[in-house]
Structure 1
Amino acid sequence: MAPPKQLFFITGNKNKLAESKAILGDVVDLQCQAIDLVEIQGTIEEISLDKCRRAADAVKGPVLVEDTCLCFNALKELPGPYMYGKSFQYEESEAVGTQGLNDLLAGFPDKSAQAVCTFAYCEGPGHEPIIFQGRTDGKIVPPRGPTNFGWDPIFEYEGKTYAEMEKVEKNKISHRFRALEKLKAWLQEA
């Protein structure tokens, strides 16, 4: 199969789109398309595969979907794939907020966590999606840095929160970078 020259990235999040374009560079023409997709409950992988199939059916062509999770080791990887559900909204104006996410671990000595990004690619309706996943180990800390991109202010990697990092620095170590590097290598080999 020849790699696609253009991919529809199904997201309404401009920050995710900008990071993804910066990391993928000119390997593929990434076009944004916002589609409200139903998300099933399940594992990170099950959710990503199902969402990708639905997106490919809706677009009738090659698509890329992304699911980002924050997994607290003390809570057996919760909130995980439910990070963006109504119970664990990360936005400051919503249910829990970044300070609330930090507070979830107040009674636990283990503050370690994993940032997980799963991209799923499908060449079109009827095709089986392929998963590319990246994980970054870190820890949960009280919010530090700008609050303009999800839970970046509470996820610390080697002494800095994602929010405290310059975009270029974050894009070299993040969970999204690790997943997109796998996708990029696959696209270049295909």
Structure 2
Amino acid sequence: MRRRLTGKVVIATHNAGKLAEMRDLLAPFGIEAVSAGELGLPEPDETGTMFSENAAIKAHAAAQATGLPAFADDSGLCVDALDGAPGIFSARWAGPDKDFSGAMARIFSELAERGAENRRAHFVSALMLAWPDGHTELFEGRVFGEVVEPRGDAGFGYDPLFQPEGHTRTFGEMTAQEKHGVDWQKGTGLSHRARAFVLLARECLVQ
């Protein structure tokens, strides 16, 4: 049985860009959000082999540390011609300094090494809600498109090189509202995180 989220939630992230998107998504529901980074919580080791497993690790760690429900996202870019890489290692490709320009260059370097012309890719977002008593709710969203030469300086991470299907601009060229804003009348969103959040909101939030 689905459990409704009310009151205060911990957003289990130390990523400022991800935190901003999550706060924007939660704002219409009157949920008070505080991040793991703001609370000084350590980042748990992400030892999972799937996005959902890493989201669960982060959400459970934050819920147990604070006694509050925790909301975690694990997401990444999967490039078809690289056998789904960087996938769950998307953040790790950027290294400890979060050098995503280097990570994007690596993608094109590895595509060139393989002689790959296929540029198909997709973003995945696994959203996990965890309560201190161990109850969890999991939702996943995907957006398909292709990798292109990086354009734009909006967004974060791999946004500048990802052009979603049906669009002529990359995520890096879109405003925050264009990328992850949700049309609540239609129940749709563009980004992987917005699509996962629509599913979560239908089941666990009351507007």
Unaligned segments of structure 1, at least 5 residues: none
Deviations 1:106-153 (Å, cap 9, x if unpaired)? Answer: 3212111111111110111x4132211110001111111116611111
What's the C-alpha RMSD, in Å, of the aligned pairs?
A: 2.3
Aligned equivalent of 1:186: 203
Given residue 129 of structure 2, which amino acid in structure 1 is its aligned partner? Y
Contact 2:159 2:170 survives alignment (8 Å):
yes
Aligned equivalent of 1:151: 158
In structure 1, how many angstroms separate the alpha carbons of the residues matched to 2:4 and 2:199?
A: 17
- CA shift, 1:26, in A, is 2.6
Select which of 55, 71, 86 maps to 1:64: 71
Greater helix share, structure number? 2
In structure 2, how many angstroms separate the alpha carbons of the residues matched to 1:174 and 1:161?
A: 11
Query: Normalising to structure 2: TM-score of the pair?
Result: 0.81
Is it true that 1:89 corresponds to 2:106 in the alignment? Answer: no
Contact 2:55 2:128 survives alignment (8 Å):
yes
Deviations 1:11-33 (Å, cap 9, x if unpaired)? Answer: 12222121112222231222222
Given residue 170 of structure 1, which amino acid in structure 2 is its aligned partner? K
The structure-2 alpha-carbon separation of the partners of 1:14 and 1:93, relative to structure 1 and needing over 3 Å to count, comes to closer
Is it true that 1:142 corresponds to 2:142 in the alignment? Answer: no
In structure 2, how many angstroms separate the alpha carbons of the residues matched to 1:15 and 1:148?
A: 7
Select which of 98, 112, 115 maps to 2:104: 98
Task: Give the ranges of 4+ consecutive aligned residues of structure 1 lying more than 6 Å apart after TM superposition.
Answer: none
Given residue 4 of structure 1, which amino acid in structure 2 is its aligned partner? T
The structure-2 alpha-carbon separation of the partners of 1:93 and 1:135, relative to structure 1 and needing over 3 Å to count, comes to closer
Query: Normalising to structure 1: TM-score of the pair?
Result: 0.87
Contact 1:74 1:110 survives alignment (8 Å):
yes
- CA shift, 1:61, in A, is 2.0
Given residue 8 of structure 1, which amino acid in structure 2 is its aligned partner? V
Aligned equivalent of 1:18: 20
In structure 2, how many angstroms separate the alpha carbons of the residues matched to 1:140 and 1:101?
A: 9
In structure 2, how many angstroms separate the alpha carbons of the residues matched to 1:186 and 1:161?
A: 30
- Secondary structure class of the residue paired with 1:81: helix
Deviations 1:163-190 (Å, cap 9, x if unpaired)? Answer: 011211111411111111112212236x
- Secondary structure class of the residue paired with 2:126: strand
Given residue 9 of structure 2, which amino acid in structure 1 is its aligned partner? L
Given residue 168 of structure 2, which amino acid in structure 1 is its aligned partner? G
Aligned equivalent of 2:52: 45
Contact 1:99 1:143 survives alignment (8 Å):
no
Contact 2:81 2:118 survives alignment (8 Å):
yes
Is it true that 1:122 corresponds to 2:139 in the alignment? Answer: no
In structure 1, how many angstroms separate the alpha carbons of the residues matched to 2:19 and 2:154?
A: 18
Unaligned segments of structure 2, at least 5 residues: 182-189
In structure 2, how many angstroms separate the alpha carbons of the residues matched to 1:93 and 1:116?
A: 20
**Paired-residue identity, %:** 27
Contact 2:153 2:160 survives alignment (8 Å):
yes
Q: Aligned residues, how many? A: 187
